[in-house]
Amino acid sequence: MTEPIRIPAPEGVAPAAQYTHVVIGTGRFVAVSGQLPLDEDGKLVGENDPAAQARQVFENLHRCLAAAGATFDDVVKLTYFVTDMSHMPAIRAARVAHIPDDRLPASSAVQVAALVRPEFLMEIEAFAVVGG
């Protein structure tokens, strides 16, 4: 497997904090739809609890990646949609359980007015490149 190339600080760009600016991969592209804090029965996990919701979302991402023959090592981009930026520390803590700091993907975080249901505090999508 070809390891993705990570460029954390391209020349002339401020250093990244908690993400990598550029990730280059070769292989099969995998797109994982935004995952929500729902268990396998479709029940909300962690009402009003950003840490519990983040853990569930990352578990759902893990399962979706596995279904595509991918792992978090293959993830090149994460996009976080949050209803409140104050939830980002909980998301980072959940992410650390799956992705070490030396393998951070490119990332975007967007605060939104609302998600599809008002009890959802976050939705996270992933892009991965498998193999080479």
Walk along the chain (132 residues) and give the pLDDT tens digit of each residue. Answer: 577 888 888 999 998 888 889 988 888 999 999 999 999 999 999 999 999 999 999 999 999 999 999 999 999 999 999 999 999 999 999 999 999 988 899 999 999 999 999 999 999 999 999 986
- The CATH number assigned to the domain holding 115 equals 3.30.1330.40
**Domain limits for position 101:** 34-130
47 within domain boundaries = yes
Which has the closest alpha carbon to 119: 13, 8, 16, 42? Answer: 42
* Cβ neighbours for 17, distance < 8 A, ≥ 6 positions apart: none
The number of domains in the chain is 1
Distances (CA, A) of 28 to 5, 53, 80, 93, 105: 15, 29, 23, 28, 17
Do 45 and 39 form a contact (C-beta atoms < 8 A)? yes
23 within domain boundaries = no
